[in-house]
Amino acid sequence: MNQINIVGENGKVNIEVNGYERPTAKDVDDANWLNCSVYIDVPPFSGRYDASFSTRDFLNFGQELGVLSDHLSGQATFETDEGALRLRLVMGSRGEMVIEGEAEIVASARAALKFTLQADQSYLAELRRSVTAVSAEFPVRASGGDGGR
């Protein structure tokens, strides 16, 4: 199981990537969706929901994290096609980092949670490694059904 932990001083978000949603899909768009579980703990709120994220969501986030980590300035954003989760990491001039998040579930009822976490640059390298590991385990597939490998 692949996990990505976004940790702040006042809460955390955990994304578990459980596998390709449609492992035998022939259409490239269908072939690149992943089954994920999202756990959010931002006191006093905590909860879990399942969502589908694209392999490209993780690839793009990893690339932005690389730039953020290398320059220790700017921002990196994890934003999903369907809006189920948005995370924006903004690095301050003194190594402090603000994580702005929004989780939105659209089902029979609509629910959303916006939150802000405080962190620092010391945790950025581990986050980058975990996102890179997810992208390596579940690469963007050029054609469906082949696992991209």
pLDDT tens digits, residue range 52-91?
999 999 999 999 999 999 998 999 999 988 889 999 999 9
Phi, psi of 137 (to 5 degrees): -75, -35
DSSP label at residue 80:
-
User: For residue 120, what pLDDT is reported?
Assistant: 87
- Give the pLDDT score at 95: 83
pLDDT band, very low/low/confident/very high, at 111 (cuts 50, 70, 90)? confident
**Model confidence band, residue 149 (pLDDT cutoffs 50, 70, 90):** very low
DSSP conformation letters of 87-111: EEEEE-TTSEEEEEEEEEEESSSEE
Strands (E) in 1-149, as ranges, are: 2-8, 11-20, 33-42, 45-54, 74-79, 85-91, 96-106, 110-120
* CATH fold label, 2-137: Transcriptional Co-activator pc4; Chain A (2.30.31)
Asked whether residue 145 carries a pLDDT value surpassing 70, the answer given is: no
Q: Where are the domains of the chain?
A: 2-137
